[in-house]
Amino acid sequence: MDYITNPITLQPETLLSTDTTFMGLGFRTAWVRFSSIGDPGDTIRIEGFLAMPNTGTITKPGIVVTHGNGEQGNLLTAMGTAYALQSVALSISGPGCGGSEGQPSDFENWIRIEPSVAYSWIYQYAVAAMRGVTYLSTLPEVDSTFLAMTGPSAGGVATLLSAAVDNRLKYAIPIMASGDFTKAYLADGWLSYYLGDTLNPDSGQFARFINYLDPLSYVSTHSTPTFLIVGAQDEFFTLDAVKSYLESLSPAMVRTLIVANWDHATYYGPDPRYNSRYDAFDNSAVAGRKMLQATTAGYLAIRTVGMLPPTPQVTASELFGEINFTAMVTPIGVDSVFLCLSLDSGWTYQCHQMTQTIPTTYTYSLETDQPLSSMVYFAELHSSGLIMSSYPYMSQEMELRIRPAVEDTTFIDYEVQEKETRVKVYPNPASGKLYIASKSEISQGEIYNITGKKVREFQGMQKLQFNLPAGIYFIRFRTVQGDWFTRKLLLLKGTTK
């Protein structure tokens, strides 16, 4: 931690600085870089985008904003966070992402832990995020007594690791992330899919990966108040892993929002190619509103009173074909309580408003022949602007239903799989040039990052010219005959010619 917290070694530079207006509020913005560590002995430069509300001489809390695997920091994220939380926000690009130096963020580099965990990309990402905290602490505009971190997916993992080891943090908001990688891996979710070819769960490498990089391994040192936000149907960080991780942390340290009918921003996201599949639908507006409300209200509560309401508790009892659910809450400021219930092993959820019986108790009754052991449920509390959840409840024998990985199902047209050999992308991995070889003429194509976001379209090209951050991509082609093909691409660095 001595290097991480040492401002002398930051060697900060401001590449560009300007004043601008966002949502009617004036901001000073900057594009910056500072030093962090890559592989042992190597120094890398980390890119950051800074947004500071123009408040004269009044200092503001500082928050580092991380991003998901294969993504990068950007100024819009920084300004949006600074505006919503009335703080100085630094949106960083992780190692090898955007304008940051370092190894690419592919999953093989997550588990690159030999001969030391310091070679792992996720380790270096967490270090870079904490170096961002150090950078913020040097700014006169920042109140260094209140520093925070947030971010989704891989950035959420970096946030959890940082919250467990960096006592400068006063609040952490990991999104679409959790600890207990072992349970998530063994659930046959997306973590095992993307790591499965390179990681054996019975190996010593897997044990070291868990020991050093699973946030569950650090619960004894986790002393940062944390608000964990995750979708109930997240395919990477499955709900049983979320439950295990939450129950392992000190109850005083963690609150959660579990968003029903939300996953890893894929099948329940806004892209119509995904949200019509596997009984999913576009729930991005509702999920986005809930996550924003939980983030802003929780952040304000921690800043002003230093605490959040206690976590709601839920119990259930079966009697003569009826299941009675009871939620116990702190009565101050409660607007409503909902029971979020899955009758199909976590595949879909219905949320039912519960009835208040006394100030601290809400109930809901369900007539059913289905046993309680086959259900997944949690309570959702709406209280004075804050939305939060109970821990999820499910039997130990529950096998959650998990939607298949995007690469396997969303892009592939099974009627033309036998023709897949007609299109070839090379070299792969790519580091400078990328070519398409096809027996049929290519009429159009699309490029998606690992989260399913479309990042590029092209027409009839045999040599691709684009500039994207390093990472895993999926290239989707259409021939003039109307057949679609998909190829997975590992981009080692941005292709520019």
pLDDT digits (tens, 9 = 90+) for 378-437: 999 998 789 999 999 999 889 999 999 876 544 444 333 434 446 777 776 676 667 777
Determine the 3-state secondary structure of 283 from DSSP.
Answer: coil
Rg (CA), the chain: 23
The rounded distance, in Å, linking the Cα atoms of 188 and 401 is 10
Q: What is the pLDDT of residue 417?
A: 40
Token representation of residue 446: 């699309």
Q: What is the pLDDT of residue 123?
A: 97
Token representation of residue 134: 């150090």
Tell me, rounded to whole angstroms, the distance of Cα 380 from its chain centroid.
21
Token representation of residue 71: 């993504």
* 42 C-beta neighbours (distance < 10 Å), count: 12
Q: What is the pLDDT of residue 420?
A: 43
Residue pair 352/323 in contact by the 8 Å Cβ criterion: no
Q: What is the pLDDT of residue 459?
A: 80
Burial grade of 471 (CB within 10 A; 0-12, 13-18, 19 or more): buried
Q: What is the pLDDT of residue 489?
A: 73
Determine the 3-state secondary structure of 490 from DSSP.
Answer: strand
Q: Which residues contact 449 (CB under 8 A, 6 or more apart)?
A: 70, 71, 455, 468, 471, 472, 473
What's the length of the chain? 497
The rounded distance, in Å, linking the Cα atoms of 51 and 31 is 9
Strand order in the sheet with 484-491: 454-458, 442-449, 471-479, 484-491
Q: What is the pLDDT of residues 9-33, one digit of tens each?
A: 999 999 999 998 888 889 999 999 9
**By C-alpha distance, which of 292, 268, 287 is closest to 451?**
268
Question: What's the predicted TM-score (pTM) here?
Answer: 0.81
* One-letter amino acid of 237: F
**By C-alpha distance, which of 147, 141, 146 is closest to 159?**
147
Low-confidence ranges of the chain (pLDDT < 70): 197-198, 407-422, 428-429, 431-433, 450-452, 461-462, 465-466, 471-472, 484, 488, 490, 492-497
Token representation of residue 350: 């219905």
